[in-house]
Chain A
Amino acid sequence: MPLRAKVASSVSRTAAALSRAAGRGDGSVIGGWIGLKIDPELLKHLAAGRSVALISGTNGKTTTTKLTVAALESAGRVATNAFGANMPTGHTSALAKAGATPYAVLEVDEHYLARVLDETRPRAVALLNLSRDQLDRAKEVAMMAQMWREALAHHPDVHVVANADDPMVTWAAYHCASVTWFSAGQRWHDDSWVCPECGGAIERAGGDWRCTTCPLRRPRPQWVVEEDGVVDPTGAWHQVKLSLPGTVNIGNAATALAVAAQFGVRPADAVLRLGSVTSVAGRYAQVERDGRLIRLLLAKNPASWLEAFDMAEAAPTLLSINARDPDGLDTSWLFDVDFAPLYGRRVLITGDRAYDLAVRLQVNGIPFEHVTSFADALAAVPPGRLEVIANYTAFQDIRAELDRVN
């Protein structure tokens, strides 16, 4: 490593430690920011000599990154980035902090994939899904797919692990020289009715899809979710015992196994390690309070609401909605989500924008009770499980409240 990179790396670690010591956050971004100021090529230097996997997509990337780390750890030490720090500053901090490791698994914000591909020269990149985020529009989904496609064209040596069930992801990876396709299902279809190749209509039947006017169609996947397990490319089925809920996470596990296989880790070995992942940045974490077993699920866009419904058990469910800056000020997306899966459950609502949610649920025909605080919600439900699904700042509020009393 050149001297400037060594200095930058060491300052980056120190800055991160100082930031933590000063109580100014966990230092997962500031260290990398300073390091990159000193040496703009620092990430490149830190990644050199490691076998790197990148994980990107609109949803599930934090969880899939954690599962991939767990799978790869059977082969050696793995550097990885903390939740939220999924841009180059976060990657730089993470690699500087980890010291020398044979492997790195990095969660990458989908907007930064091109740059991180250039700088980390990964062995494999996993592309999970693309859908609208609260602040984005459908057209930006197509733009993102286009950006991915161009970025991948510059890196024909990178092995791509891509979701065959998502037409946008498929199109982005369609012409890559080396691709492994996985099938993890797609619940959200509203951003992929129009073919990104030709503008024709995408037709779906069962799990299959194809363009009605051009040759783009679902590739045959080599890794497939089946029941509570995953079928590998040899046809062998591996039961997946996760500590995380929902079939969505079995899909994330399939992706992790497919990525790990690119590093020579056999699925039979990797699959045993996946159960060690119990909570991802506070998500899925269970907290007991006054006999209530509370589970927190973060839903940050329409697609991830559908996934949260899949993960939640049929128990009393609290929904909390805010519309602060990080959430987007506009609550219109509530009508993109079909809340019908909650029908028959006891539903409580809260948050800054509970009334928007109330109107939405009324149109959906879902009865609900409004409570003005998380404490009131706890008091309203009997002992036993309480599922909590919240958007970004509402989730943070509830986490903070649980931490305070703990």
Chain B
Amino acid sequence: MSTEDLRIVWIYPDLLSTYGDRGNMLILAARARARGIPVETIEIRSDQALPDSADLYLLGGGEDGPQALAAQRLNADGGLHRAVARGSVVFAVCAGYQLLGTSFFAKGAAYPGLSLLDLQSDRGPARAVGELHGVIDPRLGLPPLSGFENHGGRTHLGPGVSPLAQVTTGIGNDGTSEGAWRGNLIGTYSHGPALSRNPALADLLLRWATGAGYLPPLDDTWTDRLRHERQVAVAP
């Protein structure tokens, strides 16, 4: 890490930005600053070179055309691959999550992904829209995932990744598992400001990105209330 600040890069907001994707960057920055960690947030457009020296990279959601274009430009740029090789953290939602795999489906055809995670995505029988809840991989030590999904894809995990969660409400990858992770890379179908309902996940990303083994807790009263409300809303 070349600078003192925690550097967070939002990749291609001009292509991959729907439904409040900016939220994840805002939440990570706010939670870091609340602990006295100086933060630099950087938005890199698709016509700019992607710096490979940042600590944390964010990928948002997007439609087919922009998604395919983003994959092409990221593969040509190579910055994200170099950053991952250096151990940088990546958090990707929805279309951004699909991008991390070996291939994804857009505009009726399969496109090569970034091959950073061992998974591939195709089209599902119907669009998955609604609350998405699940029990997160116990090795990550996080409370249940709570979010909202809106996607037409289905994702098939290879042996090189683990599911982020087991679905209790919603579809996620395939109705059973949701999202994927390996090393410092996490992808999820919980779209938009996914971290707004999952502050513990936000803090995990911050610990990975800063190397801090511990971060002092913050007052998450309102988030706890929101999580509880959504949990009650989806209870049978």
* Residues on A facing B (Cβ under 8 Å): 132, 137-139, 190, 193-194, 199-201, 212, 329-336, 355-356, 358-360, 362-365
A332 and B222 contacting across the interface, CB-CB below 8 Å: no
B196 and A359 contacting across the interface, CB-CB below 8 Å: yes
The residue on B at minimum CB distance from A132 is B18
Q: Does B148 contact A (CB under 8 A)?
A: yes
B20 and A200 contacting across the interface, CB-CB below 8 Å: no
Least distance between B92 CB and chain A CB atoms (Å): 16
Q: Does B150 contact A (CB under 8 A)?
A: yes
The residue on B at minimum CB distance from A362 is B222
Contact A336/B22 with A139-B66, A356-B226, A359-B226 known, Cβ cut-off 8 Å: yes
A193 to B222, CA, bound (A): 34
Least distance between B170 CB and chain A CB atoms (Å): 12
Residues of A near B223 (CB, < 8 A) are 359
A363 and B27 contacting across the interface, CB-CB below 8 Å: yes
Q: Does B77 contact A (CB under 8 A)?
A: no
Least distance between B22 CB and chain A CB atoms (Å): 6
A190 and B17 contacting across the interface, CB-CB below 8 Å: yes
A336 to B193, CA, bound (A): 10
Q: Does B65 contact A (CB under 8 A)?
A: yes
Residues of B near A355 (CB, < 8 A) are 222, 225-226, 229
Contact A330/B26 with A138-B18, A201-B45, A356-B226 known, Cβ cut-off 8 Å: no
A137 and B18 contacting across the interface, CB-CB below 8 Å: yes
A360 to B193, CA, bound (A): 10
Contact mask for chain B residues 187-200; partner A; CB cutoff 8 A; 1 contact, 0 none: 00001110011000
A332 and B19 contacting across the interface, CB-CB below 8 Å: yes
Least distance between B19 CB and chain A CB atoms (Å): 4
A364 to B196, CA, bound (A): 12
A331 to B233, CA, bound (A): 14
Residues of B near A358 (CB, < 8 A) are 222, 225-226
Least distance between A239 CB and chain B CB atoms (Å): 39
The residue on B at minimum CB distance from A361 is B222
Residues of A near B229 (CB, < 8 A) are 355
Q: Does B30 contact A (CB under 8 A)?
A: yes
Q: Does B47 contact A (CB under 8 A)?
A: yes
A359 to B229, CA, bound (A): 13
List 13 other contacts, CB 8 Å, given A193-B14, A201-B14: A137-B18, A193-B45, A194-B15, A201-B47, A330-B19, A332-B148, A333-B20, A336-B20, A355-B222, A356-B226, A359-B223, A363-B23, A364-B26
The residue on A at minimum CB distance from B45 is A201
B26 and A335 contacting across the interface, CB-CB below 8 Å: yes
Band of interface residues on B: 20 to 34
Cβ-defined partner of A137 (8 Å) among B13, B19, B47: B19
Contact A363/B222 with A201-B47, A330-B148 known, Cβ cut-off 8 Å: no
Cβ-defined partner of A335 (8 Å) among B15, B65, B196, B225: B196
Interface of B is mostly: mixed
Residues of B near A330 (CB, < 8 A) are 19, 148, 150, 192
Q: Does B130 contact A (CB under 8 A)?
A: yes
Cβ-defined partner of A332 (8 Å) among B27, B69, B193: B193
A137 to B18, CA, bound (A): 6
The residue on A at minimum CB distance from B196 is A359
A190 to B63, CA, bound (A): 15
B63 and A139 contacting across the interface, CB-CB below 8 Å: yes
B192 and A332 contacting across the interface, CB-CB below 8 Å: yes
Chain A CB within 10 Å — which of B18, B65, B129, B223 has the most?
A: B18
The residue on A at minimum CB distance from B218 is A362
Residues of B near A138 (CB, < 8 A) are 17-18, 62-63
Residues of A near B27 (CB, < 8 A) are 363
Please name the 8 residue pairs, one residue from A and one from B, whose CB atoms are nearest each other, closest first.
A335-B23, A332-B192, A335-B20, A355-B226, A332-B19, A332-B20, A139-B63, A358-B222
The residue on A at minimum CB distance from B65 is A139
Residues of B near A336 (CB, < 8 A) are 19-20, 22
Least distance between A141 CB and chain B CB atoms (Å): 11
Residues of A near B130 (CB, < 8 A) are 329
The residue on A at minimum CB distance from B18 is A137
A262 to B89, CA, bound (A): 58
Least distance between A387 CB and chain B CB atoms (Å): 22
Residues of B near A212 (CB, < 8 A) are 47
A320 to B236, CA, bound (A): 27
Residues of B near A333 (CB, < 8 A) are 19-20, 192
The residue on A at minimum CB distance from B197 is A359
A356 to B227, CA, bound (A): 9
Least distance between A192 CB and chain B CB atoms (Å): 10
Residues of A near B15 (CB, < 8 A) are 194
Residues of A near B13 (CB, < 8 A) are 193
A356 to B196, CA, bound (A): 8
The residue on B at minimum CB distance from A199 is B69
Contact A332/B225 with A139-B65, A193-B45, A200-B47 known, Cβ cut-off 8 Å: no
A335 to B69, CA, bound (A): 25
Least distance between B143 CB and chain A CB atoms (Å): 15
Least distance between A354 CB and chain B CB atoms (Å): 9
A335 and B22 contacting across the interface, CB-CB below 8 Å: yes
Least distance between A376 CB and chain B CB atoms (Å): 17
Residues of A near B65 (CB, < 8 A) are 139
Least distance between A284 CB and chain B CB atoms (Å): 27
Contact mask for chain B residues 16-42; partner A; CB cutoff 8 A; 1 contact, 0 none: 011111110011001000000000000
Least distance between B16 CB and chain A CB atoms (Å): 10
A212 to B18, CA, bound (A): 23
Residues of B near A356 (CB, < 8 A) are 196, 226
Cβ-defined partner of B14 (8 Å) among A194, A334, A365: A194
